[in-house]
Amino acid sequence: MNAHKPEPLTLSLSVNGQTYDLQVPARKLLSDVLREDLGLTGTHVGCEHGVCGACTVLIDGRPARACLTFAAQMEGHDITTIEAVGRPDALSVLQQALHEEHGLQCGFCTPGIVMTFEHYLRENPAPTADEVRDVLSGNLCRCTGYQNIVAAVLKAAARMRGEAA
Amino acid sequence: MKPAQFTYHRPASLAEALALLRTHGSSAKSLAGGQSLGPMLNMRLARPDHLVDLNDLIELDSVRVSDDMVEIGALTRHHRVANAPELRRSLPLLSAAAASIGHYAIRQRGTIGGSLAHADPAAQLPLIAVTLGASLVIAGLQGTRNVVAADFLQSIMTVDLRDGELITALRFPLPVGGFWAFEHFSRRHGDFAIVSVALNFAQDADGKIDALRLGLGGVDTVPLRLPEIEARAQGRPADEDTIRELAAATASAIAPEDSAQVPASYRRRLAETLVIRAFQSALNREEGA
Ligand SMILES: Cc1cc2nc3c(=O)[nH]c(=O)nc-3n(C[C@H](O)[C@H](O)[C@H](O)COP(=O)(O)OP(=O)(O)OC[C@H]3O[C@@H](n4cnc5c(N)ncnc54)[C@H](O)[C@@H]3O)c2cc1C
Ligand code: FES
Ligand code: FES
């Protein structure tokens, strides 16, 4: 079988504006390095084949599946995880809207949804409900039934445009 | 679900990438967006000893529109194919199809070259490449060659790509007519389509169908163009009777696989319905919009 035994790589990763030097095997997924090596457990792991969206982070500002990315690929790129969005006493506009609209229950899917829409709402500040649903199709939620997430994203978008209280 | 061990390579140039692929032959795999290869590695359906990451070859992330052709670099992401204004103008069928691939985050990473090389029979971009008569530019250490998409795609996940070769670009001839549509059906939004239909045509001065190109995905091991149906449409009025006749003829012309989940008869009916919808949406859209 596969007798291939490569040496671990020495990497320098930029995550949430901080530089981390670490040694990891080439095959180690970005999602696992974030959680196990850096202790950033806000990035969740559901399916490990790109379908559920729980592991979504930003790579150079754009949403991407951390489970379909190797940490080894990320030298020279900026990674942003949920830990960089808001604080418990100062939620982001989107997090606040999710809270108010009951856009989460267990919260497993929430980090991936927040990361996806933090970027999407910058690209499209005035989405329709259909557009929000199209983007949300990339994030599975087993609890909410999605309606409240759509309402929260639309509310956050309106607030960011200065059109809603 | 973790990949098997591999050695990671990050070439800085196409020449370096080709040299690495040549050295490691069939024990190497190239990695573009990772949106198909990633799951295969995680599930250990693929276990290469060497992974050659193409993501630093930014010169392959490119769009060039000339008088008679559009050239799209292999590393161009689906999101750019869907949104670049020059592509939405020159190849609206391709942009619309790219916008329907999987989900938003998938489209940020997945590339047009990766989609063609992966050759899923239900994938959007191979279907549009076949429908519009695109060709692929393939580089090896000995030089480059051009292959038309219909010859490149040989069977399910089987393509005309030898060890040590890379796709560097796709070349699309400019479509002849302003009428186009992409219609697909999947059970959940963002899933691979069960059947998809792409068409493009012009209308002559009397409003008759001219130069129809009709492609179907999900009805065979590779995307198909249907020349008999295209010929049958030539010079016919684009009215309801013609459209229904062409849709019925399409359903009889295909021989989809019969499976427990999706019976062949179901795929045929989907094909018929989607051909009707495609003509209707092409005709309803204001030309140029
Ligand atoms: C949840 C999910 C949903 C998806 N839904 C759809 C969908 O609805 N429709 C659809 O079409 N696709 C879908 N995809 C797949 C997606 O489109 C992929 O981006 C695409 O199939 C492969 O492109 P990639 O750049 O990610 O290639 P990779 O995954 O990096 O590579 C795929 C294969 O192509 C080879 N390769 C890559 N680039 C080159 C090159 N330049 N030259 C030669 N070989 C190369 C690799 O060696 C590998 O064998 C989905 C993926 C996911 C995870
Ligand atoms: S864990 Fe990455 S998409 Fe599900
Ligand atoms: S809140 Fe539980 S999965 Fe979405």
User: Consecutive 10-residue runs of chain A (165 residues): their mean pLDDT?
Assistant: 77 98 97 98 98 98 98 98 96 98 98 98 98 98 98 98 89
Burial of residue A156 (CB within 10 Å: 0-12, 13-18, 19+) is buried
The CATH 3.10.20.30 portion of chain A extends over 9-84
pLDDT for res A96: 98
- Distance of residue B11 Cα from the nearest chain A Cα, in angstroms: 11
The predicted-structure confidence for B135-170, as pLDDT tens digits, reads as follows 999 999 889 999 999 999 999 999 999 999 999 999
Probe site for chain B from A7, A24, A65 (most B CB atoms < 10 A): A65
Class at the top of the CATH hierarchy for domain A9-84:
alpha beta
Cα A30-B98-A74 angle, rounded to 5 deg: 20
pLDDT of res. B287? 53
Predicted-complex ipTM score: 0.95
Residue of B36, B125, B152, B160 to test ligand 1 pocket, by largest number of atoms within 8 Å of CB: B36
Residues of chain B with CATH 3.30.390.50: 179-287
Integer Rg of chain A from CA: 17
CATH 3.30.465.10 maps onto chain B at 61-173
What per-residue confidence (pLDDT) applies to B288? 47
Q: Summarize the confidence of residues B53-79 as an average pLDDT.
A: 97
Provide the CATH number for the domain formed by B7-52 in this structure.
Answer: 3.30.43.10
- CATH placement of domain A93-160: 1.10.150.120
* Residue A138 sits at the chain B interface (C-beta within 8 Å): yes
* Token pair in block for residue B29: 């795999």
Distance of CA A34 to the CA centre of its chain: 12
Residue B286 confidence (pLDDT): 58
* pTM over 0.90, yes/no: yes
Contact between B112 and B72 (Cβ < 8 Å): yes
**Chain A interface includes B2 (CB < 8 A):** yes
CATH tag, B179-287: 3.30.390.50
Kindly tell me if the per-residue pLDDT of B235 is higher than 60: yes
Q: How near does any CA of chain A get to the CA of B113, in Å?
A: 17
Q: What is the pLDDT of residues B70-117, one digit of tens each?
A: 999 999 999 999 999 999 999 999 999 999 999 999 999 999 999 999
The DSSP call for residue A20 is: E
Q: What are the contacts of A89-93 at 24+ separation with CB within 8 A? A: A92/A118, A93/A156, A93/A159, A93/A160
Distance from residue A82's CA to the centre of ligand 3 (Å): 16
Residues of chain B with CATH 3.30.43.10: 7-52
In the sheet that holds A9-15, the strands lie side by side as: A18-24, A9-15, A78-80, A56-59, A62-65
| pLDDT number for residue B289 | 47
CATH of segment(s) B61-173: 3.30.465.10
